Chains A and B, each alone.
Chain A
Amino acid sequence: MDVSTTIAGVSLRNPTVLAAGILGTSADLLCRVAKCGAGAVTSKSCSLEARDGHPNPTMLDWGEGLINAIGLSNPGVEEEVKELKKAVGKSGVPVFASVFGKSPEEFAEVAARVAEAKPALVELNVSCPNVSSDSRLGGKIFAFDAKLVAKITDAVKNRVSTPISVKLSPNTPDLKEIAQAAEDAGADAITACNSFGPGMVIDVETGKPILSNRVGGVSGPAVKPLAVKCVYDVCSVVEVPVIGTGGVTNGRDAVEMIMAGATAVGVGSAVYYRGISVFARIDAEIKVFMDSHGYESLADFRAIAQQ
């Protein structure tokens, strides 16, 4: 039985990919996640300059999922390149580098800088839902605008030869059109999708929104059906491989994503629900599913829900 997969020419031993923003703060943590069975690991999104992110509370379990507004904290691209180099050298699995900027030019600049560390893929985070009020980032979510997504994709493709994946937002009615625009502009893969909302959780004792940013991206098991639909939609219009991300907690969830058309599967909040060993567990659960259903490879059931 073969659970290996290939994203934009990058071979993965299994389809699980550590999603950006989870545990990707240090090379050692990325290596630990690789040891825990991930097929690939994605570093935390980095920008040209260091950012502290939002004050706490920045993340909580609201009962049926997580909500977070970390606010894209990162030490800046110069420090990030050092961590990435170490991770690329040591992790033993493909390392994906997530980047963001406040303009197409800045995206291209940060992507070019991280490319020095030779990541297997660069992921463009055009879709963080927590920074729309951040004037330093232009106060908008790029992933809502097909033309802007195309412009960013094109700018990055002109600067780097590393394959790129564009991480889209699920929070737009134009997801298909935007995915198409990214593909047309040269994206080698699509990551679908970022967290949902933003949402809000209010503390009923004090009457205050709990997150310091008031709103944050919603993730975890609660969003899975929404995420599967996004992946299904994106896969119905693009030819490039899709990293299906959102609420995947077990092997069955991963299989659903693949049946919707995903080539690989992002895993994030599940680290909270099932511990850091969740990657190896999902890998094993996919194999059990395939064994009991007579599937030899992921391709046997990829996108069968599209038929």
Chain B
Amino acid sequence: MATSRSPTSGQLRSSDVNMLPRRAKIKEIINDNGRVKTFVLDCSIIAKPGQYVMVWLPGIDEKPISVSRADPLTLTVANRGPFTSRLFDLKVNDFMSFRGPFGNGFALRTVKNILLVGGGYGVAPLRFLAETALQKNIRPTMIMGAKTASDVILEEAFSELKVKTIIATDDGSKGVKGTCVDAAKEAMEKEKFNAVYSCGPEKMMAALAHECAKHGVRCQLSLERYIKCGIGVCGQCCCDGLRVCHDGPVFDARVLKGVEDFGRLARGPSGASHAL
């Protein structure tokens, strides 16, 4: 089993973590939409939902990508910069290398009813979480937020899992009109959830955390930062005093209460902060 860690203790080394790059062949590529592709690799890893791998393209860069399925290892990637654009050039039977999995992952408590809230490509790690929850007889309800109908991803994957899914689009072109926070609020008013799990834009998650607090529901949020070492040493990904790469990327909303950077600031490659 992957080692469990807390912010103040914890070793990272475990035989389940690939510290040196592992090479895997691309078995299948799914075009989720114009900006998002899902890569299915010919290998599996032992990982928890919410963990990520560092995907390496030699000579180009290495970036954190959340695991959207561990067996076979599946990565759902948004094209958002030079690295991902090179990743998008890869074809079936090409290779990619990765290290990890790293990070803590979502803590799936033994409860009955959970709500998953994904904004944009933040839906990806929640697919793995939904799959894992079902195996533990926990009933997930999924809320997917997107700008417009064509941005919705992994709808089919969730329908294959038979997970009740609510889609919210900003322009109302698919599902309900509004943000995923609006939809989550409505869902929590109708039904009692034991816990909420979210990944997506940080401002969205900050608003969601606020709603969850009002409804007295615990929530865990997956954060994104510029990650360098991935092993909690360099400090580049810090969010106040939290190391997103190692203490996170998933944090309980109670831990983020009072964290000044949360929902506001993130550091770039030099360590200088910019507004989110």
Instruction: Identify the A interface with B (CB < 8 A).
Output: 21-26, 28-29, 31-32, 36, 44, 50-53, 55-63, 66, 68, 70, 73-76, 79, 201, 203, 205-206, 208, 210, 212, 268-269, 271-277
CB of A212 within 8 A of CB of B269, answer no
Q: How far is the CA of A44 from the CA of B95 in the complex (A)?
A: 36
CB of A52 within 8 A of CB of B269, answer yes
CB of B271 within 8 A of CB of A74, answer yes
Instruction: Identify the B interface with A (CB < 8 A).
Output: 5, 7-13, 19-23, 54, 56, 58-63, 95, 97, 99, 228-236, 238, 240-241, 243, 267-273
- Given contact pairs A26-B241, A272-B12, A57 touches B270 in the complex (Cβ within 8 A): no
CB of A58 within 8 A of CB of B272, answer no
Closest to B60 in A: A55
CB of A205 within 8 A of CB of B233, answer no
Query: Which residue in A36, A50, A201, A272 is a CB contact (below 8 Å) of B232?
Result: A272
CB of B20 within 8 A of CB of A62, answer yes
CB of A76 within 8 A of CB of B54, answer no
Closest to B231 in A: A272
Q: How far is the CA of A28 from the CA of B7 in the complex (A)?
A: 14
CB of A23 within 8 A of CB of B235, answer yes
**Neighbouring A residues of B238 by C-beta, 8 Å:** 23, 25-26, 28-29
CB of A59 within 8 A of CB of B21, answer no
Q: How far is the CA of A36 from the CA of B271 in the complex (A)?
A: 23
CB of A28 within 8 A of CB of B241, answer yes
CB of B61 within 8 A of CB of A36, answer no
CB of A26 within 8 A of CB of B228, answer no
**Neighbouring A residues of B271 by C-beta, 8 Å:** 25-26, 44, 50, 73-75, 79
CB of B9 within 8 A of CB of A60, answer no
CB of A32 within 8 A of CB of B13, answer no
Within the complex, what minimum Cβ distance (angstroms) separates A100 from chain B? 14
**Neighbouring A residues of B54 by C-beta, 8 Å:** 56-57
**Neighbouring A residues of B270 by C-beta, 8 Å:** 50-53, 73-76
Within the complex, what minimum Cβ distance (angstroms) separates A18 from chain B? 10
CB of B235 within 8 A of CB of A276, answer no
**Neighbouring B residues of A277 by C-beta, 8 Å:** 8-9
CB of A59 within 8 A of CB of B11, answer no
**Neighbouring B residues of A44 by C-beta, 8 Å:** 235, 271
15 interchain pairs (CB within 8 A)? Answer: A21-B234, A23-B243, A25-B235, A36-B8, A44-B271, A53-B270, A57-B62, A59-B233, A66-B233, A74-B270, A212-B61, A269-B233, A272-B12, A275-B10, A276-B7
CB of A206 within 8 A of CB of B236, answer no
- Given contact pairs A50-B270, A56-B63, A276-B8, A29 touches B233 in the complex (Cβ within 8 A): no
**Neighbouring A residues of B22 by C-beta, 8 Å:** 205
Closest to B64 in A: A56
**Neighbouring A residues of B269 by C-beta, 8 Å:** 52-53, 73
Query: Which residue in A32, A36, A61, A268 is a CB contact (below 8 Å) of B231?
Result: A61
- Given contact pairs A275-B11, A276-B7, A22 touches B99 in the complex (Cβ within 8 A): no
CB of B58 within 8 A of CB of A206, answer yes
CB of A208 within 8 A of CB of B59, answer yes
5 tightest Cβ-Cβ pairs between the two chains A and B: A28-B241, A56-B62, A75-B272, A25-B235, A59-B229
Q: How far is the CA of A274 from the CA of B13 in the complex (A)?
A: 10
**Neighbouring B residues of A206 by C-beta, 8 Å:** 21, 23, 58, 95, 97
**Neighbouring A residues of B23 by C-beta, 8 Å:** 203, 205-206
Q: How far is the CA of A242 from the CA of B21 in the complex (A)?
A: 37
Within the complex, what minimum Cβ distance (angstroms) separates B14 from chain A? 11
**Neighbouring B residues of A210 by C-beta, 8 Å:** 20-21, 56
